A and B are shown apart, each in its own frame.
Chain A
């Protein structure tokens, strides 16, 4: 890739830092050097080099960026289409329910203000749990307090 061909040359910020470190402190032992290092890290602000691309390299970069944006748009459109289909199915089902049974429809449109999501509902991770899926789940047994008579 022609963009990264000039990696032999050091970046501006790297040159700056080398210049700052260059006058080797002959005086101090390790103590002086540490102070210098800390001072440098705290107070120096090496400039971040903005690469000025020209000509073919610029065209390549811009094409890559446009392709990425196009890809993102396509992904977003795909996701929105899927959601729209799901919503339409839900609308149609509710309309059908309204026509079918008034009692069931009224029960379906009830919305509790205290709806929460369960804690077990987790988002995808990069790797799965080493134990895998718990196929041996059994529901917890409710402890009924014994009645004293």
Chain B
């Protein structure tokens, strides 16, 4: 990468330690990554919304100008016959408060499709709104919870505070967004099509290291993580099994089951509910 090869151009500058972590007032600066898979499908309508849509449909139909069927359909054609069946179903549904117009037409259309062989041959396949991953509750799949936003969390090889967003220390010559991209590639592999939204962090979290950690690695008593926002469009996370041993794609509601309460309180306002 250009950044790593740039030391050749710096040959006239004073020697720069590229690998030293950036520490400011005893806090190590880290950049975390909030990697999200945005909702793939529109959310389900609530029962009230569905009832209102059905009501509006019927109200519109009552005052609507009827279609000039003799203009649009050739007399005696198959299309005319099908349209007349649909209209008969709609007329029946107008009097039935439980049945909506679209539901009534769906039933007749199923009958029409079953009767005709050519429509079966040309059937257009749509994906199902409830995917296989939903049924199996596969926490690593990106096909799960298609109506919600999924966030990547990774597991560090320790007991306490194991699960968190991927993060890593910012090095001395680096900027936040560069550090975030580098850390994500190192910890989660390169097999993801990721786009970082910008250079500004979307949130931060400052915490102190436990005492045994400070004793082992002197130099900083705590860390300040600045979270950078990113979107994933394809691919899957490959944990490197050194810094990160496991991963999961979870919604905001499922996050408290993995991360500690203090961490969740620090990050929850950055995340989307839906």
Contact = CB atoms under 8 A, between A and B. Distances in A.
Contact of B234 (A41, A94, A137): A137
B233 A121 contact: yes
A128 B146 contact: yes
Contacts, number: 186
Interface string A110-143: 1100010010110011111111111111110000
Nearest to A78: B273
Nearest to B92: A7
A45 B40 CA distance: 43
A58 interface: no
Contact of B68 (A7, A41, A137): A41
B20 interface: no
Contacts of B191: 136-139
Given A127-B126, A130-B126, A88 B226 contact: no
A22 interface: no
B201 A7 contact: no
Contacts of A104: 22, 29, 170, 175-176
Interface residues of A, number: 63
Given A82-B272, A133-B141, A107 B199 contact: yes
A137 B224 contact: no
B68 A107 contact: no
A40 interface: yes
Interface in B104-128: 125-128
B190 to A, nearest CB: 6
A37 B49 contact: no
Interface of A: 1, 3-5, 7, 11, 13-14, 17, 21, 37-38, 40-41, 46, 48-51, 64, 67-68, 71, 78, 82, 85-86, 88-90, 92-94, 96-97, 100-101, 104, 107-111, 115, 118, 120-121, 124-139
Interface of B: 22, 24-25, 27, 29, 37-42, 48-49, 52, 55, 58-59, 62-66, 68, 70-71, 91, 94-95, 97, 125-129, 131, 141-143, 146-147, 170, 175-177, 190-193, 195, 198-204, 206, 224, 226-227, 231, 233-236, 269-270, 272-273
